[in-house]
A and B are shown apart, each in its own frame.
Chain A
Amino acid sequence: MIEFNSVSKSYDGGVSFAVKNFVLRVNRGEVLALVGESGCGKTTTLKMVNRLVSPCSGFVSIAGKSVLDICVQDLRRNIGYVFQGVGLFPHYSVRENVSAVPSLLGWSPEAVEERCSELLALVGLPLASFGNRMPMELSGGQAQRVGVARALAAKPEILLMDEPFGALDPINRAELQGEFVRIQKSLKLTVVMVTHDVTEAMLVADRIAIMKQGRILQCDTAAGLLSSPTDDYVTKLMKTPLTRALEVSKLVSAAQTTDYFR
């Protein structure tokens, strides 16, 4: 569905590269997670898909067609994007933020309203109590959920998400992840999702691409990465959820809280 054909991006005219010789294929209906340390080029990769950033060499194609051959506004309206900084419009209410893309696409007001209430219910912010709030009146996690709702509003086939669940508490986060997987499966969405959280990547994504300094170190299923890592960094990164779980488990048994796993 989405193909990165040896894509490179330099912000300083070739001195250093944010993304270098990036080759990757994301299949239709697949969730791909991009994982890697801060500044390794995840956001840059994502933005090259909807042309917020243009590559210096190579090209991105969607369904076999270079994104450069698609009208940029149509391209963007048909790709949902959850921004890293949330990026809600501060002068629009929650309802207006979620309605933004369907309205641009010329949906009827009734259809927009219906979609709005559907999505806000989905992300746990009922229209009746949150629809007229302004972004300033939301918590960070609530704003993030509105951001996800906005990205999904126009029923896109492709979703790009830049740390979409970062600001949520563990319970809401797990809930929303589960909800997200359900939607994704039922709509057969193709998703590229940036995350720092390896556990999240393992639970949500079909495949994980591990990046370092603008390159892909390895891209495989969670099982594949665990069983045959090609790099020490991959090994170390993939082990973190497990080692931490063990540490937690030790703490739990030390405190003799026997019903912890109930």
Chain B
Amino acid sequence: MSVDFEMKFLQNFLDALQGHLSLTLASVAIGIIVSIPSGVLAHQFPRAKQPLMVIINIIQTIPGLAILALVVTFLGGRIGFLPAFIALTLYSMLPIVRNTITGLEAVPWDVSEAAKGIGMSRSQRLILVELPLAKPVIIAGLRTAIVWTVGMATLATLVGAPSFGNYIFTGLQTRNLESVLLGSVASAALALVLDAAIGLYQKRSIERTRGVVGKRSFFLLFYQFFVVMVLVLAIATIFWPAKQVDVVVGAKGYTEQHVLAGLLSAELNRAGFKTEQKIGLGSQVIFEALRGNSIDVYFEYSGTVWAGHMSHEDNPGPEVIREAVERYVESQGVYFVGFGGFENRYALAMRRDRAEALGVTSITDLAGIGESMKAGGDLEFFGRLEWIRTNQIYGVDFDEKLIFDSSMMYGAVASGEVDVISAYTTDGRIAAYDLLILDDPNNAMLSYDAMLLSSDRITKRPGVMRVLARLANRLTDANMREANRMVDVDGLPVSTAVAFLQNTVNFDYKSD
């Protein structure tokens, strides 16, 4: 492996580590600042305790991803550090609040009374006696919070904040097990290290209560210095000035989106605009991010908007959907640049030679002969509306319906193990295995026309809009299939696929 590659790997790893660490520490730091006073209040005013614990318990039971999505929506589509930070802070609160209350409740009764009896005020009792005695229990809660937060910080990737989740989610999308493992192991190791660091501190502070004297003050001083340094660094990164960029390009987490983001960046760079990419955003989050001007441009698909955002369950055909989604996105304060020219929907595909031998060109032709065929689908296909409609509209069914991981599915049809598969129309493996996509004259499959969307903010930059306009309606299914093939099948870098698209399509850019 080249030195260059290793440097880039190291750089990525350090970025993820820095993102993960600063996110975790900042969240837990603010979590502490909010939670300990909450716990103290709950202890002081027993009536507040029940409602507080209910609220915090509810937050805890909402799945992490849902909290992230809620926070993004609540912030008007803002993505990146802030929503992840808020969600994690909320998440870190429960163990700290709970342990603060438990710790305070466990302070021996006669010690509290002695504190009162020698004339300490309420706040002096709290600060000088009760909190110090509750400290070991509070720190135990802090350790739990740290471990939970490190784990949940992996999800921050989905809202565009870098973390070890980058490796996990990219790995899941590209079926790269090593990457998933790397992300998981790295975040587990981080959790262990942070936990052990606090554990050491806790041990020292217990020894202090037990009166083990000696180097303790020096050690504590050093330790506290270290902790404060790390906290300050973590918090400083929140307010770090953002890189000066003209356009933020967004993408969801799979190959085609990576290639498209690369293409958008390359074309914008060519025109002299600085760009930044936010890759791997969740499908729900990305549209919100665009509405909130957190990203400026990305490729969406008409079917996703129609079924996902507009919640339609019918399929009136590609033209109607195209028109409806165009109107819809504009009504959401987003600018519709144009369609991409290609479509990435589900389709039934067969080996070309086999289809020719049977005289099949369309799903219609499968009626009657499907019953003697084996079909392969990805994890979802046979449960989706697409298949239900195929079955109803064309009266097609198969002898056997096998479920494959999509990486295995193409190999299965190529080797003749199955006759038909549920393919994605721009998947590179369609070209690689020379598959034939069957026509769908009655629109059983929802159309997923690519559409280029831009933020409202960026429409005020005519130079940028000119570049984007030239990208609309220029790509084809065949181009995208080839570009995807280069990455997915040949293992070439995304930049090579982008260069291929630029060379083949010629986006006809003229310098202003």
- A91–B114 Cα distance when bound, in Å, is 13
Q: Is the CB of A133 within 8 A of B211?
A: yes
List, in ascending order, chain A residues with CB within 8 A of B121's CB.
73
Chain B nearest Cβ from A20, distance in angstroms: 23
List, in ascending order, chain A residues with CB within 8 A of B210's CB.
134, 136
Q: Is the CB of A89 within 8 A of B111?
A: yes
Q: Is the CB of A90 within 8 A of B120?
A: no
Q: Is the CB of A83 within 8 A of B117?
A: yes
List, in ascending order, chain B residues with CB within 8 A of A77's CB.
118-119
- A87–B210 Cα distance when bound, in Å, is 16
Interface hits, B193-215 → A, CB 8 Å: 208-211, 213
Interface of B is mostly: helix
Chain B nearest Cβ from A259, distance in angstroms: 44
List, in ascending order, chain B residues with CB within 8 A of A78's CB.
119
List, in ascending order, chain B residues with CB within 8 A of A52's CB.
113, 116-117
A173 within 8 A of B: no
B124 within 8 A of A: yes
- A85–B109 Cα distance when bound, in Å, is 10
List, in ascending order, chain B residues with CB within 8 A of A104's CB.
118-120, 124
Q: Mark B89-111, 1 if CB is under 8 A from A, else 0.
A: 00000000000000000001011
Q: Mark A29-73, 1 if CB is under 8 A from B, else 0.
A: 000000000000000000000101000000000000000000011
Interface hits, B389-413 → A, CB 8 Å: none
Interface hits, A131-188 → B, CB 8 Å: 132-134, 136-137, 150
Q: Is the CB of B133 within 8 A of A132?
A: no
B132 within 8 A of A: yes
Q: Is the CB of A87 within 8 A of B133?
A: no
- A86–B111 Cα distance when bound, in Å, is 9
List, in ascending order, chain A residues with CB within 8 A of B111's CB.
87, 89-90
- A80–B208 Cα distance when bound, in Å, is 28
Chain B nearest Cβ from A231, distance in angstroms: 32
List, in ascending order, chain B residues with CB within 8 A of A73's CB.
119-121
List, in ascending order, chain A residues with CB within 8 A of B116's CB.
52, 76
Chain B nearest Cβ from A54, distance in angstroms: 13
- A76–B116 Cα distance when bound, in Å, is 8
Q: Is the CB of B209 within 8 A of A90?
A: yes
Asked, given contacts A89-B129, A90-B133, whether A81 binds B209 with beta carbons under 8 Å apart, the answer is no
A12 within 8 A of B: no
A232 within 8 A of B: no
- A159–B110 Cα distance when bound, in Å, is 19
List, in ascending order, chain B residues with CB within 8 A of A72's CB.
119
- 25 cross-chain CB contacts under 8 A: A52-B113, A52-B116, A72-B119, A73-B120, A73-B121, A75-B119, A76-B119, A77-B118, A78-B119, A81-B117, A83-B117, A85-B110, A87-B114, A89-B114, A90-B108, A90-B111, A91-B129, A91-B133, A91-B209, A100-B118, A101-B118, A101-B119, A133-B211, A134-B209, A137-B211
Pairs of residues from A and B, 7 with the lowest C-beta to C-beta distance, nearest first = A134-B211, A87-B114, A76-B119, A77-B119, A85-B110, A73-B119, A81-B117
Residues of A within 8 A of B (CB): 50, 52, 72-78, 81, 83, 85-91, 93, 100-101, 104, 132-134, 136-137, 150
Additional A-B contact list (6), CB under 8 Å, known A87-B111, A137-B211 = A81-B117, A83-B110, A89-B115, A89-B129, A91-B129, A101-B118
